[in-house]
Amino acid sequence: MTDRHDPSTALETTGLGKKYRRGWALRDVTFRLPAGRICALVGPNGSGKSTLLSLAADLIAPTTGAVRVFGADPRSAEARRRIAFVAQDKPLYPRFTVDETLRLGRELNPGWDQAAAERVIAEAEVEPAARVGSLSGGQRTCVALALALGKRADLLLLDEPMSDQDPLRRHRMMGALMAEAAEHGTSVVISTHVLAELDGVCDFLLLMGGGRVRLAGDTEAVQAAHRLITGPRADHGTAEIARHTVVERRVTGRQLTALIRPSAPPAEDGWIVREPSLEEVLLGYLRAPDAPPLITSGARGPDAEVPA
């Protein structure tokens, strides 16, 4: 685990685990998110995404291991100041107006950025004089996002913030969020089920499955580690594929398509070989829950012992 006040690492976990009465929600999670990155947190329902975010935001305590925020304990005042968390259930005061909610944010946060918060409200076309209790679920999410951005945190933890937004507002909110993050170098972890939403937005990836990390690293490095190969479903094809780490293979008619992590340059003759899109990589892993995990070097802590 890195020293305190590590400016280069936004979030780091070592052997992090969380056990509820019914069993483990998170197991042996070890990764490092460098600062200034936009990290997509993806995985099926119940794979541990919210649990991981809640541990980082100190809403719950780990059963095993540790989590650090910029090198600090999440329970510390420093970590609390540097984190903003938008949970799935946005706890806001329903009797407050939007304006009053922002005023509360200003009073509670010394570094409050009123202009940033107001930009989100304006972008979302939410009426500042409206009571929070009268807003739609999607509009309430925008108020929660405005509070998070107004706090001017260094690490934004966002749990499916776009799930209740209509497509147009989803697009506008993502744009506003990314513009703010780029301007201030803010680190972001955003969980989502909408894989298409990630393209060109996120530069870091964390894929969870069964409470464990299945993929972690720069999106470019993750993509570059994979190849999508298509060819005839003949015996020699099977032999070719067996040379590599196979994430997923599918047969359609006489054709074989496989997502692989090549151990050597794949044979080109008779095969179409190309780098998969991020969505293709993610879909491959989601369809193959037993595929071996990949933690790229950029996502490993200095003292981590994780499989390559």
Ligand X SMILES: Nc1ncnc2c1ncn2[C@@H]1O[C@H](COP(=O)(O)OP(=O)(O)OP(=O)(O)O)[C@@H](O)[C@H]1O
Kindly state the smallest distance separating residue 192's Cβ from ligand X, in Å: 9
Strands 272-274 and 227-232: antiparallel
**Can you tell me the distance from the alpha carbon of 113 to that of 105, in angstroms, rounded to the nearest whole number?**
9
Please count the residues of this chain forming the interface with ligand X, following the rule CB under 6 A: 11
Which of 5/22 has CB closer to ligand X?
22
50 binds ligand X (CB under 6 A): yes
Which residue's CB atom is positioned nearest to ligand X?
Answer: 25
For the CB of residue 49, give the shortest distance to ligand X in the complex, in Å. 4
Q: Which of 13, 14, 30, 51 binds ligand X (CB under 6 A)?
A: 51
Rounded Cα–Cα distance for residues 26 and 92 (Å)? 28
**Token pair belonging to 139:** 């509009």
The structure tokens 């398509």 sit at 257
Closest approach of Cβ 194 to ligand X, in Å?
12
Rule CB under 6 A: say whether 62 interacts with ligand X: no
Q: Which is nearer to ligand X, 24 or 96 (CB)?
A: 24
Closer of 45 and 252 to ligand X (Cβ): 45
CB 270 within 8 Å of CB 232: yes
Nearest to 38 by CA among 273, 203, 267, 167: 203
CB of 48 to ligand X, least distance (A): 4
- CA pair distance 78, 5, nearest whole angstrom: 9
Q: What is the 3-state secondary structure (H, E, C) of 96-120?
A: CEHHHHHHHHHHHCCCCCHHHHHHH
**For ligand X, which is the closer residue by CB, 207 or 294?**
207
**CB 16, CB 64: distance < 8 Å:** yes
Least spacing, CB of residue 77 vs ligand X, in Å: 26
How far is 220 from 178, CA to CA, in rounded Å?
A: 18
Q: Counting beta carbons within 10 angstroms of the beta carbon of residue 38, is it exposed (0 to 12), middle (13 to 18) or buried (19 or more)? A: buried
Asked if residue 43 binds ligand X (CB under 6 A), the reply is: yes
Tell me: does residue 49 bind ligand X (CB under 6 A). yes
Site mask for ligand X (CB under 6 A), range 2-31, x = bound: ------------------x-x--x------
Least Å from the CB of residue 5 to ligand X: 29
267 secondary structure, DSSP code: P
Query: Which span sits near ligand X by CB under 6 A: 1-9, 45-53, 250-258, 263-271?
Result: 45-53
Residue 219 phi, psi dihedral angles, 5° rounding: -60, -40
Least distance from C-beta 18 to ligand X, angstroms?
8
Binding site for ligand X (CB under 6 A): 20, 22, 25, 43, 45-51
